[in-house]
Amino acid sequence: MAYEHGISVLENPTPTRIPVITNSGIQVVIGTAPVNQAQNVEDAVNKPIICYSWEDAVSKLGYSDDWDKYTLCQAMDASFKRLNVAPVVFINVLNPSTHKASITDEKVTILNKSVVLKIEGVILNDTFKVKNATEATTYIKDTDYNVAFNELGQPVVSIIESGTIPSDAIELKLDYEKLDPSTVTEANIIGGIDGETNEYSGIEVISLIYPMLGLVPGMLLAPGWSHKPNIAAVLDAKCRKINGSFNCINILDIDSNTIAKYQDVSVWKKANNYTSKYSIVLWPKVKIGLKTYYYSAIIAALMAHVDAENDNVPHKSPSNKKLPIIATVANNKEVFLDQLQGNFLNSIGVITAINMNGWRTWGNNTAAYPDCTDPKDRFISIRRIFDWWGNTFINKFYDKVDEPTNYRLIESILDDENIRANGLQAKGQIAGAKMEFRQQDNSTEDILNGRIQFVQKISAYPPAESIVNILEFDPSYISKEIFGGDQ
């Protein structure tokens, strides 16, 4: 250790903020990640991966700024760096054992006893070989060299002085495999269940979240993929009766790479059947600094953050919330919508963003609007309250299943639910709710067959979408101002 005498200064990296925690708006994000960088690659493929911080996500999934190739990374950035919310469940479908390319005899130059291979996606397993320039000698890892990723996800080969690589060597040759995200298909994202191995993949992995993690999904999204109609249709189907019980919403992007004008959104939306009451549909993309995000990644994180700030009760609309963006983008060009244009998109069941005293989300309607006008299915906030209420009821009373069907059981469920409703009403989170157990709904035959039924009426607040102030000229104030008093 060096002899120290004097004053010195050291710096630590800036710590990330502690995220707010949500349990009602848990995002489930499906896509691709540079899992060659992950600490445990096998556990990073087609499994639900829960992350509570930026560092947690990077260690489990890796990270790259190339969001076209690695679509999960924009959701990592949106949730942990921009909106500061956790947890997020990621499902990576990029498999290093199949989605890869092989490179042989690549020449690299030694500088300062190390080599930096300036590409991403290199797989550091037994296929990574370091050879001399003539390919006559294959060097031994941890004896002749070490290899690790730098901050950019690029492998750095460091020569060990006690090894056999000559000190005067100026060139090496490398064999390796690297990830090839271009080979990931829509079928990989959609996934399924293997009939022989019972292994889950793609969107079907959502079924493993509750059994493995004990979490109920709140939002399903696949930024970079959900603008593809086949994937959107599967996400919409998957968000109902998850594990036979739970419901949530799905968040979909309209293809803003091809739809460059807001006037063309309606035709595309209808033609591709983005019209479900369980879907939130978005156009266009959004931009923060030099980075362009699929809007779904940002709004899902924002909704989760709003839930966390409101006792994890999803009663607030995602509309008219401030966004940390600098522009909206379609077909790689910035577009600027005013309120009238934003209202047109709202009128066809699409959420957008407008710059009105700062950038903000704009739109309250699910994709079912205007064909569906039932407040329960039209307004996002009410739709989410119903899903959340049902999911909470299932979890809360699951222990009651198979208990004796007696008055005590019925009374305990009625009392608990009505007390919960009164508390939410007192906080202004719902207008009111009441549960009943009615004789006409519960025949003797049903009861003898082990079935009882409750009826619960819930009134959630619709958003104050239109606030009108009627101005009227009153000449009497002029007379009072000039002459004073009563005339």
112 token code pair: 């300062």
Least confident of 160-174, 239-253, 348-362, 368-382: 160-174
Higher-pLDDT residue of 7 and 297 is 297
Of the pLDDT bands very low, low, confident and very high (cuts 50, 70, 90), residue 486 is low
**CATH number 3.30.70 given to 100-179:** no
Mean pLDDT (the chain, rounded) = 95
Of the pLDDT bands very low, low, confident and very high (cuts 50, 70, 90), residue 160 is very high
Share of the chain above pLDDT 90, in %: 91
Give the separation between CA 148 and CA 116, rounded to whole angstroms: 10
Dihedral sign for Cα 206, 207, 208, 213, please.
Answer: positive
For residue 132, the model assigns a pLDDT of: 92
Domain locations in the chain? Answer: 20-94+184-375, 100-179, 402-487
Conformational region of residue 192, where left means phi above 0, alpha means psi within -120 to 50, and beta covers everything else: left
| Mean pLDDT to the nearest integer, 143-167 | 93
Compute the half-sphere exposure of residue 324: CA atoms within 13 Å on the CB side of its CA.
16
Walk across the sheet containing 155-159 and list its strands.
114-116, 155-159, 145-149
Give yes or no for residue 12 having a pLDDT over 90.
Answer: no
| Mean pLDDT to the nearest integer, 45-65 | 97
For residue 2, the model assigns a pLDDT of: 63
Give yes or no for residue 141 having a pLDDT over 60.
Answer: yes
- Residues 424-470 have pLDDT tens digits of 999 999 999 999 999 999 999 999 999 999 999 999 999 999 999 99
Give the separation between CA 285 and CA 296, rounded to whole angstroms: 8
Of the pLDDT bands very low, low, confident and very high (cuts 50, 70, 90), residue 483 is confident
Burial class (CB within 10 angstroms; exposed 0-12, middle 13-18, buried 19+) of 243: middle
The rounded Cα 299 to chain-centroid distance in angstroms is 8
Least confident of 103-107, 132-136, 348-352, 449-453: 132-136
| Mean pLDDT to the nearest integer, 75-100 | 97
- Residues 321-353 have pLDDT tens digits of 999 999 999 999 999 999 999 999 999 999 999
Give yes or no for residue 71 having a pLDDT over 80.
Answer: yes
For residue 1, the model assigns a pLDDT of: 53
Q: Give the residue from 214, 307, 248, 54 showing the smallest Cα distance to 62.
A: 54
- Residues 276-326 have pLDDT tens digits of 999 999 999 999 999 999 999 999 999 999 999 999 999 999 999 999 999
| Mean pLDDT to the nearest integer, 66-89 | 97
Of the pLDDT bands very low, low, confident and very high (cuts 50, 70, 90), residue 485 is low
Residue that the structure tokens 């200064």 belong to: 9
Q: Are strands 285-288 and 291-293 parallel, antiparallel or unpaired?
A: antiparallel
Are 279 and 321 a contacting pair, CB within 8 Å?
no
Share of the chain above pLDDT 70, in %: 98
For residue 5, the model assigns a pLDDT of: 83
Give the separation between CA 53 and CA 76, rounded to whole angstroms: 9
Q: Name the strand (E) or helix (H) holding 381.
A: helix 380-397
| Mean pLDDT to the nearest integer, 225-229 | 98
For residue 11, the model assigns a pLDDT of: 79
Higher-pLDDT residue of 135 and 155 is 155
Residues 65-99, buried b or exposed e (16+ Cβ, 10 A)? Answer: eebebbbbbbbbbbbbebbbbbbbbbbbbbbbeeb
